Amino acid sequence: MSTQVMPAPATHTAPATAGSRPRRRPSRAQRGSWALTIILALCSLTVLVPLYASCVMAFKTTRQAVDGNAFSLPFPLSLDGFVQAWTLTDFPRSFAISVFIAAVTVAGTIALSSFAAFAISHNWENRVFRWSFFYLLAAMFLPFPVVALSQVKLTGMVHLDNPVGVAILHIMFQLSFSVMLFTAFLRSIPTELEESARIDGASTWQVFWRLVFPLLAPMSATVGIFAFLASWNDYMMPTLITADPALQTLPVLQNIFQTQFSNNYNVSFASYLMAMAPAIIVYLISQRWVMSGLTQGAIK
């Protein structure tokens, strides 16, 4: 019942407010949209220009890569950079390990932080839960480098100096921010929804899993994207925590392409392109949910 009622007024009000404005003042709105388009176009250049440079650089020969013209088209076209990057990083293996860490981080972050947020938002009056929320938030002010040394020692002692340990630590460091997002979102879900499920005889687990968790989907997508990016792009934690060089992640291995004394622009950019691909693909697939999540939150 209530699920059908809730979105109805929302969908009615949204187009009404948005639609009335351009009809009254079309010229100014149009001018505004032109200015906005130009600003957005300029902003997109800041992404597209470096992307273009890295694409053409990846296909250059070493000699052309150091000639100081980053924007020139590659001639002759060379796949040498990709071949070298592939073998030097042992790409399939390091890629699989990066994917593994990112997947565990995303799944673990979404699961753990939604559990925590559910418990905290339902027991807000209880002092223990309220303070545990503040405790989790306080972790946001604790960057990894501060605790790096003790983490290295601890993970070594409990034999977690491997990708599993890195994934667990990634989950830990994502927890505070994700719990905050989930808790804020959960508070906007009306309690009547849950009460109706309770009346139908649902247990706490069923309420969470059948009702609340599906409602959290857009926020889960947001949390998941943040967790994925943080884990996929991380350099410092895997480099310190992982002991076995054969289990190292892609960003750490890519560090070997550039040193103070030598530059292999074509090899490094080829490798960056290969590493960038999954992040872009994940974002392209899931961005619809992020957008819908933002608008849903805004209306409620």
Partner 1 sequence: MQSTTPAAQPGLSRRSFLFGAAALGAGLSMAGCAPGQGSGGKTTTITFYVSKPEVIGYFDGLIKQFHASQDTVRVIRDSTSSMSADFVRNQPPDLGCWNYNFSVAAFVRHGALSDLSDMAEAKSINPKLWPLLQQTATYPGRTSAIPYSVMAASVIYNKDMFARYGLAVPTTWSQLQAVCRTLQGAGISPFYNTLKDNWTVAQGMFDYSVGGMVDIPRFFSALDAEGTSVRAGSAASFHKDFQGPMQHMSQLALLANQDAASRGYGDGNLAFAQGKAAMYLQGPWALNEIAKTAPTMNLGTFPLPVTEDPADLKVRVNVDLALWIPEASKKKAAARQFLSFLMQPEVNDKYNADNNGFGVRTDSPPARNPALAGMQKYYDGAAFYLGASQLIPASIPVADYAQAIALGSAPGPELATLDSDWSRLALRNA
Residues that bind partner 1 (CB under 8 A): 62-63, 66-68, 88, 96-97, 100, 103-104, 106-107, 111, 148-149, 152-153, 155-157, 161-164, 167, 200, 209-211, 213-214, 239-248, 252-253, 255-257, 259-263
Smallest distance from partner 1 to CB 148, Å: 8
Of the two residues 88 and 172, which places its CB atom closer to partner 1 in the complex?
A: 88
| Amino acid identity, position 10 | A
Residue 152 vs 229, nearer CB to partner 1: 152
CB of 65 to partner 1, least distance (A): 8
| Separation between Cα atoms, residue 262 and residue 111, nearest integer Å | 44
Is the CB of 21 or the CB of 210 nearer to partner 1? 210
Rank residues 70 and 139 by Cβ distance to partner 1 and give the closer one.
70
Helix%, strand%, coil% for the chain, nearest 5: 80, 0, 20
* Residue 258 φ then ψ, to 5°: -130, 125
Q: Which is nearer to partner 1, 118 or 133 (CB)?
A: 118
Across the strands, what pairs with 258? 263
Minimum separation from the CB atom of position 136 to partner 1 (A): 22
Integer Cα distance of 195 and 214 in angstroms: 16
d(CA 255, CA 266): 14
At closest approach, how far in Å is the CB of 186 from partner 1?
17
**Helix-then-strand count for the chain, H and E:** 16, 0
Q: CA geometry: angle at 50 spanning 49 and 52, to 5°?
A: 65
Minimum CB distance to partner 1, residue 287 (Å): 19
